[in-house]
């Protein structure tokens, strides 16, 4: 079991989640964060910390595609462990439907 990041994180990236993860299993792309399913210990503390409600347990139905995407990008993006400013315009992007089409495959810049 793992937790997964869904598309409402895209173009928001609040990053509150990375501060609370005990095993530092978040990975950062240019405009999305993902969880490495093999590293997540399923503690659940990140889920209520996300202002965008973008983190869910994989016990919820219909998340197969999201688990695949989290796995794919966790393998190629850099680890992120320190909170940073949300993305510019995040207030307008929070809650926008169908944000997967906005996904950039580029890795995050880090700090």
Q: Give the residue, chosen from 4, 21, 40, 54, that forms a contact with ligand F3S under the rule CB under 6 A.
A: 54
Give the x-and-dash track for 43-62 against ligand SF4 (CB under 6 A): xxxx----------------
Q: For residue 34, state whether it binds ligand SF4 (rule: CB under 6 A).
A: no
CB-CB contact of 9 with 69 (8 Å):
no
* Dist CA 9 CA 90 (whole Å): 9
Residue 98's φ and ψ, nearest 5 degrees, are: 65, 45
4 binds, among ligand F3S, ligand SF4, none (CB under 5 to 8 A by kind): none
Give the x-and-dash track for 2-41 against ligand F3S (CB under 6 A): ---x---x--xxxxxx---------------x--------
Give the number of residues written for the chain: 111
Q: Which of 4, 85, 95, 71 is nearest to 108 (CA)?
A: 85
């Amino acid at each position: 079991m793992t937790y997964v990041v869904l598309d409402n994180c895209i173009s928001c990236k609040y990053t509150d989640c990375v501060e609370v993860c005990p095993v530092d299993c978040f990975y950062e792309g240019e405009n999305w964060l993902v969880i490495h399913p093999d590293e997540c210990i399923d503690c659940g503390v990140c889920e209520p910390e996300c202002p965008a409600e973008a983190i869910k347990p994989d016990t919820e139905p219909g998340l197969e595609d999201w688990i695949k995407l989290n796995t794919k990008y966790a393998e190629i993006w850099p680890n992120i462990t320190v909170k940073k400013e949300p993305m510019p315009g995040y207030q307008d992007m929070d809650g926008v439907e169908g944000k997967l089409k906005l996904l950039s495959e580029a890795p995050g810049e880090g700090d």
